[in-house]
Chains A and B, each alone.
Chain A
Amino acid sequence: MILDVASWLLLLAGGFFVFAGGLGALRMPDFYTRAHASGLTDSMGTILILSGVALQAGFSLAGLKLFTILAFLLLTSPTATYALANAAYFAGLRPLLPPLSAETDDRKTR
């Protein structure tokens, strides 16, 4: 009973985070802000939804598989996002806003 309520809450919170990240990835103005919104679904939504489902599975083979999926996703999705942002930056795509130290930094001499 308590496990059911906890898993229900985790799934609801995970659904909210996934939806917020999806909305952000559609509505954000820039590639890097979109990557930020996508990273929200990749980390928080994945943790919440998979642990909510794993509470239903309990200590079984399905629970072990869910834990493996969670560990693998947490390992690979930041790597993929990093590689993506790195490739975009090297290809010449710059963020919409200049860096915060742009006023104090003498950028024209560079």
Chain B
Amino acid sequence: MYYAATIAILVTMALALGRALLGPTVYDRVLAVNMFGTKTVLLLAVVTFLYGRPDFLDLALAYALINFIGVLAVLEFVQKHSLRHPKTDQERERS
């Protein structure tokens, strides 16, 4: 019975990867990567009971922590980056 949930999560991860490759803006890509990370946590939780190995739950817990911090760090980087570069472009156009 875990196979249906595993297959649904794997298909959703493929769809999220497709959005991450297609995404027109960088925020679409960050959204897709965030979704991919959440689906990874769910996949690890299901695979734990599919294979009967409870150690995977620790991996899922660590992945949930890292995913959140990683998304916030990437957002911070993108924000600083987009604040810095359009200004220089405008200044180049003015001068």
A pairs with B: yes
Measured between beta carbons, the chain A residues less than 8 angstroms from B7 are 15
Measured between beta carbons, the chain A residues less than 8 angstroms from B48 are 53, 62
Measured between beta carbons, the chain A residues less than 8 angstroms from B71 are 80, 83-84
Distance between Cα atoms of A18 and B18 in the complex (Å):
15
* B67 → chain A closest CB, angstroms: 8
Measured between beta carbons, the chain A residues less than 8 angstroms from B27 are 31, 84, 87-88, 91, 93
CB of A76 within 8 A of CB of B12, answer no
* Chain B residues within CB distance 8 Å of chain A: 1-2, 4-5, 7-9, 11-13, 15-16, 18-19, 22, 25, 27-28, 30-32, 34-35, 38-39, 41-42, 45-46, 48-49, 54, 57-58, 60-61, 64-65, 67-68, 71-72, 75, 78-79, 82
A-B contacts counted at CB < 8 A amount to: 142
Q: A-side binding surface: helix, strand, loop or mixed? A: helix
Q: A22-B16, A23-B15, A91-B79 are in contact. List 20 more A-B contacts (CB 8 A).
A: A12-B4, A15-B4, A15-B8, A18-B5, A18-B8, A22-B11, A25-B15, A26-B22, A34-B19, A53-B45, A53-B46, A65-B57, A65-B61, A72-B65, A73-B38, A76-B68, A77-B68, A84-B27, A88-B27, A91-B82
* A23-B15, A91-B79 known; A61 vs B31 contact (CB < 8 Å): no
Measured between beta carbons, the chain B residues less than 8 angstroms from A66 are 45, 57
